[in-house]
Amino acid sequence: MKNILILGAGLSTISLIDYLLKNAEENQWEITVGDIDEEVARKKVNGSQYGKSMKFDIEDEGLTHKSIAACDIVISMLPAFMHLKVAEKCIELKKPMLTASYATPEIKALSEKAKEAGIPIMMELGVDPGIDHMSAMNVIDRIKSEGGEIKSFYSFTGGLVAPEFDNNPWNYKFTWNPRNVVLAGNGESKFINAGRYKYIPYHRLFDRVMQRKILSYGDFEVYANRDSLGYREIYGLEDIPSMYRGTVRRPGFSKAWNVFVRLGATEDTYTIEDSENMTYRQFINLFLRFDPNMPVEIKLQQYCVNACDPVVMEKLKWLGIFDKRKIGLKNATPAQILLKLLLEKWTMDPHDRDMLIMQHEFKFEVNGEEKMIISAMVAEGKNHEETAMAMTVGLPLAITTKLFLQGKLKRKGLVLPIHEDIYKPVLAELELFGIRFEEREYMMG
């Protein structure tokens, strides 16, 4: 009997835990789910004879040591900043660790120690990062094996509301961490285009969008992610002339969101005096010039040209940014105030379903011919718990866990899912859950 320890039982774990419990009898597994709130963990186990719950606190050194020592493999679904502590303990106790989160420089530095301990630290096994790596490498390796040279790689991902539940002027609802949406794009975004490095400062990021049609889901826009350049090394494309990664939204989102960026309403570095007694209208007025004889709406239009667009103004009014309602948040940052308002308007209703969109575009040359492959995937959630986001985060992590416990994955140290022995079987099994990529190839010119 193999004991799987899952640390953290948040929203993204439902598909992960369900998959492991359903495969537990056949594979002789026992699953222990630990969370700071044991009731949350207990609900995820859902009475299965192959699972049990426990209260877990990473700050409790004795409990952490005891829990990891007693298992055969650790899946960390804790907040990202806690993974380092889990990784260090797994290395000390020689227990394999898997997670969906990004491999930070601090954890990458532990790779040799993990090898010496004879264990893998497998990371970036979710959707983005995760499925993006797997689906990209599936095509990249095939192009290379056929003698092709990749000239350009563009990749886009976005979590959105499914079309039939898209019923607000922004064509957007929160399907993942709302705070991350408000802070998205902070810092510069960098990529390479036709051999030239490009840098977009945050205050211009939402001016620079691309338009795309994706499968049968219609029109979308894409804005650049922070760092596309680091993916050249991950994908073995160090000399590629063009590399760009972006985030997908429905058309018009960026133009309206840019109003908040230009205002400074997404700033999270300072707090506002007496914010709890301020109205949302007064909050917006904070950033505009003093003119008591001019309406806030007009001042905003004078300050930010995007607000002159009637479609943008409709979006802003619908959010309630001009309302004379008190904010009620003490010592809040601008980003926290904006987030409070957005949570009222962009939260998914209980009956809503989300969708996850991903598209890769490869331009390459083979046998003197220029070609292009577009590989795209859209996954829709089942309900407000089994969301597309939860499925695409949890299932690849769960499938990789199964492959490891079955002895099919032998790598040690820090491991990303960019290797064929990982991505081939994971992508194949994901298709059984409706998570599949449609591919089209075109001749260029």
User: Looking at the structure, do residues 142 and 19 belong to the same domain, yes or no?
Assistant: no
CATH of the domain at 416: 3.40.50.720
User: In a structure prediction context, what are the per-residue pLDDT tens digits for the chain, which is 445 residues long?
Assistant: 999 999 999 989 999 999 999 999 999 999 999 999 999 999 999 999 999 999 999 999 999 999 999 999 999 999 999 999 999 999 999 999 999 999 999 999 999 999 999 999 999 999 999 999 999 999 999 999 999 999 999 999 999 999 999 999 999 999 988 999 999 888 899 999 999 999 999 999 999 999 999 999 999 999 999 999 999 999 999 999 999 999 999 999 999 999 999 999 999 999 999 999 999 999 999 999 999 999 999 999 999 999 999 999 999 999 999 999 999 999 999 999 999 999 999 999 999 999 999 999 999 999 999 999 999 999 999 988 899 999 999 999 999 999 999 999 999 999 999 999 999 999 999 999 999 999 999 999 7
User: Looking at the structure, do residues 151 and 199 belong to the same domain, yes or no?
Assistant: yes
Q: Which of 314, 346, 378 is the last residue of a domain?
A: 346
User: Looking at the structure, do residues 163 and 241 belong to the same domain, yes or no?
Assistant: yes
- From the list 422, 272, 401, 434, the residue with the least C-alpha distance to 6 is 401
User: Looking at the structure, do residues 240 and 372 belong to the same domain, yes or no?
Assistant: yes
User: Looking at the structure, do residues 120 and 53 belong to the same domain, yes or no?
Assistant: yes
User: Looking at the structure, do residues 113 and 137 belong to the same domain, yes or no?
Assistant: no
pTM of the model: 0.94
User: Looking at the structure, do residues 16 and 94 belong to the same domain, yes or no?
Assistant: yes
CATH of the domain at 356: 3.30.360.10
User: Looking at the structure, do residues 171 and 272 belong to the same domain, yes or no?
Assistant: no
User: Looking at the structure, do residues 272 and 308 belong to the same domain, yes or no?
Assistant: yes
User: Looking at the structure, do residues 283 and 339 belong to the same domain, yes or no?
Assistant: yes
User: Looking at the structure, do residues 172 and 250 belong to the same domain, yes or no?
Assistant: yes
Q: Which of 317, 346, 375 is the last residue of a domain?
A: 346
Contacts of 384 (CB under 8 A, 6+ apart): 348, 349, 350, 351, 352, 353
Q: Give the domain extent around 406.
A: 2-127+388-431
Give residue 273's identity as a one-letter amino acid code.
E
Domains in the chain: how many in total?
A: 3
User: Looking at the structure, do residues 175 and 233 belong to the same domain, yes or no?
Assistant: yes
